[in-house]
Amino acid sequence: MQESGGSSGQGQGGPSLCLEWKQLNYYVPAQEQSNYSFWNECRKKRELRILQDASGHMKTGDLIAILGGSGAGKTTLLAAISQRLRGNLTGDVVLNGMAMERHQMTRISSFLPQFEINVKTFTAYEHLYFMSHFKMHRRTTKAEKRQRVADLLMAVGLRDSAHTRIQQLSGGERKRLSLAEELITDPIFLFCDEPTTGLDSFSAYSVIKTLRHLCTRRRIAKHSLNQVYGEDSFETPSGESSASGSGSKSIEMEVVAESHESLLQAMRELPALGVLSNSPNGTHKKAAICSIHQPTSDIFELFTHIILMDGGRIVYQGRTEQAAKFFTDLGYELPLNCNPADFYLKTLADKEGKENAGAVLRAKYEHETDGLYSGSWLLARSYSGDYLKHVQNFKKIRWVYQVYLLMVRFMTEDVRNIRSGLIAFGFFMITAVTLSLMYSGIGGLTQRTVQDVGGSIFMLSNEMIFTFSYGVTYIFPAALPIIRREVGEGTYSLSAYYVALVLSFVPVAFFKGYVFLSVIYASIYYTRGFLLYLSMGFLMSLSAVAAVGYGVFLSSLFESDKMASECAAPFDLIFLIFGGTYMNVDTVPGLKYLSLFFYSNEALMYKFWIDIDNIDCPVNEDHPCIKTGVEVLQQGSYRTADYTYWLDCFSLVVVAVIFHIVSFGLVRRYIHRSGYY
């Protein structure tokens, strides 16, 4: 491609790196636009071509904007170049002539998503410090991590907001925090998906200005801004008008002065990126490429190069200042006082422009004669090899430490959301009190109390299983975007996340199990002693753990928690029917072993009745009489062997493991499905 005025091959801090992409094509299933579910994944779908023979390059020092209408393929191109795209992608991505694999690209580059995907309950400092453990070398000391986080907060202008929770930051601050997170690894290449979305003009300018400084390693001088806004427009002190006059003209000049003063204030708050110069690549220019939607003229001027896309094709790539001549040569004159970005997009979108899209495309390829395979980049191939060798020496933290850190994150989220947790726990305890009041009249072991005890135990089992299964159905629908991105980036392994998630529920299950039972046991079963309390509490806790597996299984089937809870009804019905209370399960041999409720009910009933040798019978001998606890168990089709309790405990663990294995497979399928992350 013609690129007059480009940077030289010898960049600041060492030879330049050139990233090229050649003939990129991407295909997606036609039905992929619908909401994801396991069943949709099983259908055979026809494919649509989203990206068509896209080729180009970027080199250190470049700040490139990808422009195009909605559906033009901007984000897809960005994800394809950065190797953050899964699915049917063809073509090559090379660095100074060396082919790049996905894991290599994730080490030398960072991808800034359009929407912030992070834990909102963390503070800015906590989030960066947490991510530094995953993204920095395992041998990096805590002091070095803290210093890196402090430097990044200073660099992106968030030092004063370091201890503010992410959910309380403004949109611009969140964007800069996301940028700081991506800079932890000190990448050479930055890929940003619409970094100005949802920001006001000053915040958007600040974000792009930060990227410009990262690429060029120099600030845009004040006189450059004067060229955009007028030679003397930044010389007016705050609160003063730069021109005298009266009426509407005077008011207009005051508004302009205030606007320029606000921009000056924003410029004073721009990041001090010099603090990053001590990092491994701190003195090296970077390259950034951004998909951006309708940039303002001042933001547009910050980009060194632009890429125009239409219908999945690149119709122009070149220096920003040469684009106007490119369009003029094709018969499209840029009007005076017009935002160039708006003009280019309008030209592509107009019907007349559509009819000439082929001509624009052919002209683009005619200009594609030099630059892609320039000898200066091939001369730097040995340098890129050394750089990649240095990057490949990176060692992540070990799997066990990943699990520990993720458990800390889950627990921190729970503590920060303690209010909602306490409310839920309060309703949970209200249920316990209600059950204790309903069954508090049980006294002695008589024929009348046999049914009452069975009913109370059944309610104990039901409450624990339903509370924990429905309490976790929201987990994956809410967390899937975070998991997909962080696992895709190689931040941590999916297995570490899943194990940490499961382990974080275990102490909660045991705590709630024993607390719930304490309220009921004190009013109903207190005469049976402390050992029965311990045994029943342990079994209820295991039931809760198994219920978590069941709930996570439902959660992983769909992306919507509403859909997961609605589709749980048939599963619940089957489990309840074969739980041993509503029917004689021996009439359908084997099916009772599919029910969570059966194992829980059987173990609780066994522990309560197995030692009972005498149950009072009525005076009227014509009435049926159950004389021992063994007869109670036999009537309910429960086992009476000595190993029954521990076998049921083991069975609950096995059921939980099976549910988790299936859930892990479903989540893994989602993580690796087509699309970008």
The confidence score (pLDDT) of residue 261 equals 45
Residue 448 and residue 307 share a domain: no
Average pLDDT, the chain: 78
Tens digits of per-residue pLDDT, 505-526? 999 999 999 999 999 888 888 7
CA distances, 19 to each of 22, 106, 185, 268, 578 (Å):
10, 14, 18, 33, 61
> What average pLDDT does the segment 312-327 reach?
87
Residue 66 and residue 213 share a domain: yes
Of 258, 290, 318, which residue sits at a domain end?
Answer: 318
The verdict on pTM exceeding 0.85 is no
Residue 440 and residue 296 share a domain: no
Question: Residue 66 maps to which CATH number?
Answer: 3.40.50.300
Of 318, 350, 373, which residue sits at a domain end?
Answer: 318
Residue 362 to residue 369: CA distance in whole angstroms: 13
Residue 314 and residue 421 share a domain: no
> What average pLDDT does the segment 368-387 reach?
47
Residue 149 in any domain: the answer is yes
Residue 300 and residue 425 share a domain: no
Tens digits of per-residue pLDDT, 274-304? 555 445 454 467 899 999 888 888 999 999 9
Percent of the chain with pLDDT over 70: 76
Residue 611 and residue 463 share a domain: yes
Residue 440 and residue 300 share a domain: no
Q: Do strands 287-291 and 189-193 pair parallel, antiparallel, or not at all (unpaired)?
A: parallel
Residue 490 and residue 633 share a domain: yes
Q: Are 362 and 329 in contact (CB under 8 A)?
A: no
Residue 572 and residue 463 share a domain: yes
Q: Would you say residue 372 has pLDDT above 50? A: no
Q: Are 234 and 222 in contact (CB under 8 A)?
A: yes
Q: Would you say residue 91 has pLDDT above 80? A: yes
Residue 352 in any domain: the answer is no
Residue 419 and residue 311 share a domain: no
Residue 428 to residue 106: CA distance in whole angstroms: 45
Q: Is 100 left (phi over 0), alpha (psi -120 to 50) or beta?
A: beta
Residue 433 and residue 312 share a domain: no
Residue 258 in any domain: the answer is no
The confidence score (pLDDT) of residue 514 equals 94
Residue 155 in any domain: the answer is yes
Q: Would you say residue 265 has pLDDT above 70? A: no
Residue 372 in any domain: the answer is no
Residue numbers of the domain that contains 294: 15-27+44-222+278-318
Residue 361 in any domain: the answer is no
Under the banding of pLDDT at 50, 70 and 90, the label for residue 12 is very low
Percent of the chain with pLDDT over 90: 26
Task: Identify the top-confidence range among 173-182, 554-563, 590-599.
Answer: 173-182
Tens digits of per-residue pLDDT, 543-583? 999 999 999 998 888 777 778 777 888 888 888 887 777 77
The confidence score (pLDDT) of residue 117 equals 65
Tens digits of per-residue pLDDT, 212-229? 888 876 443 333 333 333
Residue 602 and residue 497 share a domain: yes
Residue of 249, 318, 278 lying closest to 67 (CA atoms): 318
Residue 68 is encoded by which pair of tokens? 């195009």
Q: Are 109 and 95 in contact (CB under 8 A)?
A: no
Residue 643 to residue 656: CA distance in whole angstroms: 20
Burial of 121 (0-12, 13-18, 19+ CB in 10 A): middle
Of 318, 348, 381, which residue sits at a domain end?
Answer: 318
Number of folded domains in the chain?
2
Residue 296 in any domain: the answer is yes
